[in-house]
A and B are shown apart, each in its own frame.
Chain A
Amino acid sequence: MKNRAAVVIIGGGINGVSIAYNLAKAGVKDVIVLEKKFLAYGATGRCGAGVRQQWGTKQNCILSRESVKIFENIKDELKVDIDIEFKQKGYLLLAFTEKEWNQFHKNVQLQNSLGINSKLLSPQEAKEIVPFLNTEKLLGAAYYEKDGHANPFLTTLAYAKAAEKLGVKIYKGVEVFDIHVKEGKIKGVYTNHGYIATEKIVNAAGGWSQEIGKMVGVDLPVYSERHEILATEPVNEILGPMVMSFSYNIYCQQTPHGSFVMGYGPKETSKSMRSTWQFLETMAKKVTYLLPPTKNLRVVRQWAGYYNISPDRQPIVSSCNEVEGFYMAIGFSGHGFMLAPAVGVIMKDIILGNKLTWDVVLDIGRFERNEIIKEPSVV
Chain B
Amino acid sequence: MDDEKIIVCRCEDITLKEIRDLIKEGFTTVEEIKRVSRAGMGPCQGKTCGPIIAREISRITGKPIEEVYKPHNRPPFGGIFFKEIVGETDEK
Flag whether A299 is at the interface (Cβ < 8 A): yes
User: With the chains together, A153 CA to B36 CA distance in Å?
Assistant: 6
A301 vs chain B, min Cβ distance (A): 5
When chains A and B are docked, how far (Å) is the Cα of A211 from the Cα of B43? 37
Interface size on A, as a range, is 20 to 34
User: How many angstroms between the C-alpha atoms of A285 and B43 in the bound complex?
Assistant: 22
A155–B87 alpha-carbon span in the complex (Å): 38
Partner-contacting stretch, out of A104-112, A183-191, A275-283, A352-360: A275-283
Q: Interface residue count for B (Cβ, 8 Å)?
A: 21
A280 touches B85 (CB 8 A): yes
Q: Which residue of B lies closest to A233 (CB)?
A: B43
CB distance from B91 to the nearest CB of A (A): 11
The residue from B38, B79, B88 contacting A298, defined by CB atoms under 8 A apart: B79
Q: Does B76 contact A (CB under 8 A)?
A: yes
- Of B27-35, B49-57, B58-66, the one touching chain A: B27-35
Question: Of A157, A233, A299, which is within 8 A of B36 by CB?
Answer: A157
> Could you give 15 example pairs across A and B, Cβ below 8 Å?
A153-B36, A231-B41, A275-B74, A277-B75, A284-B82, A284-B86, A288-B83, A288-B88, A295-B81, A297-B82, A298-B80, A298-B82, A299-B81, A301-B41, A301-B45
Residues in chain B within 8 A of chain A (CB atoms)? 29, 31-32, 35-36, 38, 41-43, 45, 74-76, 79-83, 85-86, 88
Known: A233-B79, A275-B75, A301-B76. 12 other contacts (CB 8 A): A154-B36, A280-B76, A288-B86, A288-B88, A295-B86, A296-B81, A299-B76, A299-B79, A299-B85, A300-B42, A302-B75, A303-B74
